[in-house]
Structure 1
Amino acid sequence: MAIEQTWRWYGPNDRITLNDIKQTGATGIVTALHHIPNGEIWTVEEITKRKTMIEKAGLSWSVVESVPVHEDIKKQSGNWKTYTENYKTSIANLGKCGIETICYNFMPVLDWSRTNLNFEFNDGSLALIYQQKVFAAFDMFVLKRKGAENDYSEKIKKEAKAYFNSLDADGIETLTNTVIKGLPGAEESYTLEQFQAVLDEYAGINDEKLRDHLQEFLRAIIPVAIEAGVRMAIHPDDPPWGLLGLPRVVSTLEDAKAIIATVDSISNGVTLCTGSWGAGHFNDLAIMAEELAPRINFAHLRNVQRDTDYNFREDYLFEGDVDIYSVLKSIITEEEKRKAQGRTDISIPVRPDHGNQMLGDIGQDNNPGYSLYGRMKGLAEIRGLELGIRRSLNI
């Protein structure tokens, strides 16, 4: 039994069509109803409309990524109880429509952060990178967040000041837009003033309190997921360390173990994102994949080059610091174990996560990280690696 190869699609407005995706060899679609505002119910009608569109193209809607968790739920403020009830209804409706895996995250404000969306590789392709000095320059000298200087080393503060001084007005605008205008996966974007106001709403919410809020959310939604036959798969923090004074609770193996222990069910699992957890030099993805295997409900495979100063660059699948071979071996082995155990959740859908802009994608209107050819290259490499692992294991 081969792993299910999936592809993230941003819906009817995506430049990459369902027919394009079909030609990559992917069979499953990972998508969301991006037109529905955060906090509102995903109705059976809207879910069915999207599902029918996908199936008419000869594909299946395998994973939802994501049903966004409203900021009020994370803060337990405003209408958070109503939004939690709406979330439960959306899970139930997805289950009624036969969609069994939901990826979601609990990152405050921003779903993921980079400092350059078009870093040029030596082969001419373009990648996403994160540099701590650049982010610090935005934090301290553009946003001017109170207390920001306390979050960075003297070395980074010095480098950040020099970097900021090198920027002209256009450079400052580009940096600002890169950080706060929203990226794929995010359902919100902000002006600089709105951004600071949203950050201020998290004053007094530390890691411990956000973890409490997440655990209460899980206790509310997982029973619904169990009843609906749906597997929840929380996505790691990206990057897996604190930014802008905001709390982080899905950054390490210990965080993941605490989450899956909150409600002991296969419906309460994780998305093994090798790029997000892998950006942290303190995370060993081979160990994480092995230890979390029974609760891996979805996987994103990409690689990164990283250092101990909290810098990382997205890289080709076999050329970064993450041991992709061991990760995929754990996924394949886990699927075989589940099959032997008679579990109903045998499949762990896998998708190529992010890809360099290359070839004809360069200059096109691409969602950052989600161009065609770079991901198609990644998917082909995943497929080949899987075949090699299965042959070596005689399965």
Structure 2
Amino acid sequence: MAEREAGTGPVSEAVSLMGAPFTGTGPVAVVGIGDDGWAGLSEAARALVREAEVLVGGARHLAMVDDTGAERVAWPSPFRVGFVAHLAASRRVCVLASGDPMFHGVGATLVRSLGADRVTVLPVASSASLACARLGWSTQTVAVVSAVGRPLDTLAAELAVDRRVLVLSANGLTPGRAAALLVARGFGTSEVTVLEHLGGPAESVWRGTADALAAAPERRFADLNVVAVACGPGPGLSRLAGLPDDVYAHDGQLTKREIRAVTLAALGPRPGELLWDVGAGSGSIGIEWMRAHPHCRATAFEARADRAERAAANAIVLGVPDLRIVVARAPEALYGETPDAVFIGGGLTVPGVVERCWHALRPGGRLVANAVVAESEAELVRQRAVFGGELTRLQVTRSGPVGSFTGWRPAMPVTQWVAVKPVSVFPSDEEQSRP
């Protein structure tokens, strides 16, 4: 015991090889463990487990490690990580997690909560790496969708001919649900492989088509499984802006395809950025913003409950179920996390809407607003005089029958205002106090 307290000896030396020495109170160790349990852990990982005064994990993980004399604490239900900091205030804590804890795992959650300097992570191969190794798939070319605590509908955004996707299952029913989603989206002939207990003695593989698996909804696999999808022919949709209008359910409040493509180009989504879609209607702008990259986020503000419900349904069908929808009127509803971009598709003539959006926008952020009627266009002209930016008139003309011939029918023109908020060297008091 004296060796441990002094930070010397074989245990401390082994852990030091992985980063900062795990000595004293405070630091939390997170050890990834595979289905092969204790036998699959490195000596450094075993040392962290033996050093711990408290072991935290699921019942399955706790049962995999030797009895070290440490107190064993199962994750609370509902799941939360705050109690780990409380335990670590006075004792050494080791958290046991599946595979790579930083890959859709608790390691990343603990780092966000406690800070990277308080967490030491030792991973083993992730379930995605093991699945790709079994299948002969190149890991960097495969999309990964997690159904653990997240909507499975995000799978829909990844579907395309010849696309390879891994689904990290929430339980033994996830494979059947994934197959049903594939069939509903027109990818029923896709090859589906369910890999159970990867890396352990009970590892097994099931292969078939999505059609076949969806036809047996009662089939339950082991809760520890990964679903591999090799997409066959199907109506996959581009991630680029300008999806066909008919993929949306709407009541006429829809930014049409060509205007939508120009609007998204002006908004310019970047990975991880947040969009406010004000007057969301069918939700098309927020949806295509989120489809641009898996880490793009959007909040849709819509005053009418029926349209908000329709936008939510469109988001699910198009693979971005995390679209956040606020059912309330602007400008009163326009609060929350600072947006990187704002689109105003409705409510331009409501006093205070543009001003509130502009002040909420981060410095360097983009504001785009579209107007069809003269009153809204006049408001854009007025706002441009105040905040700057550019005005553009957009006109789309489509072909249509003229008797036995083909002619052109113009749609109503759209005036678009695009403005970038200046980046101040010395932010104003208002900017400093913004949430």
- Structure number with the higher helix fraction is 1
Larger relative CO (CA 8 A, sep 6+): 1 or 2?
Answer: 1
- Structure number with the higher strand fraction is 2
Q: Which has the larger radius of gyration?
A: 2
